[in-house]
Amino acid sequence: ETGVTQSPTHLIKTRGQQVTLRCSSQSGHNTVSWYQQALGQGPQFIFQYYREEENGRGNFPPRFSGLQFPNYSSELNVNALELDDSALYLCASTLQGSSYEQYFGPGTRLTVT
Amino acid sequence: ELKVEQNPLFLSMQEGKNYTIYCNYSTTSDRLYWYRQDPGKSLESLFVLLSNGAVKQEGRLMASLDTKARLSTLHITAAVHDLSATYFCAVRSSGGSYIPTFGRGTSLIVHP
């Protein structure tokens, strides 16, 4: 167990809708990253938050946005869902002072129909 | 742009055999990670390699790093069925962001 939780576990949405995914890290994990993992692929970096500010972003459009809260929880929001957004979404937190090892949550499986 | 290539992408092997998974990357890196993922599950951290010549072992898995060749290997010794999973390497480039880039993964199946 990594101490990182995500909700919901599974989600089905319709194209054009909006979705919010949630992640909760351990106390002290002040950096959280979000990844999208399509079937048969490696995780693709979406963005990273450090102390509630976005400090890195991958090649994803602005309809992917996030928030990080003081209680070490975070959200990934996706607007105007497309079929290609169907994937496993993983959050990973990093403990300050560690070797930047990331602790991954169990993921949210999003299906867009 | 950092590129990470793993090979093979698929590996079917018999129990008791040895094999090596390779991870090549395109720019200088200051750390390399190996992860295991079981079907439908999240990623489990196996190793973090920080310096040239680093070697780490856990059970039947041994990982090494050659920063000059920009190559890491994950060696499997006397494979058992429980090792069946997908293995990813992820590379963090030195300088700039702390974001690792993942390879496509190696899907390993160990047959009795």
Task: Return the pLDDT at A72.
Answer: 85
HEC readout, chain B: CCCEEEECCEEEEECCCCEEEEEEECCCEEEEEEEEECCCCCEEEEEEECCCCCEEEECCEEEEEECCCCEEEEEECCCCHHHCEEEEEEEEECCCCCCEEECCCEEEEEEC
Partners of residue B98 in chain A, C-beta under 8 Å:
48, 56, 100
Partners of residue B92 in chain A, C-beta under 8 Å:
100
Task: Return the pLDDT at B95.
Answer: 67
Task: Return the pLDDT at A101.
Answer: 77
Q: Which residues of A21-37 are buried (b: 16+ CB within 10 A; e: fewer)?
A: bbbbbeeebbbbbbbbb
Confidence of residue A99 (pLDDT cuts 50, 70, 90): low
The C-alpha angle A111, A43, A85, rounded to 5 degrees, equals 25
Residues B43, A43: Cα–Cα separation, whole Å: 10
The residues in A 5-64 lying below 8 A from B, measured between CB atoms, are 33, 40-45, 48, 56, 58
B21 vs A95 pLDDT, higher one: B21
Task: Return the pLDDT at A12.
Answer: 98
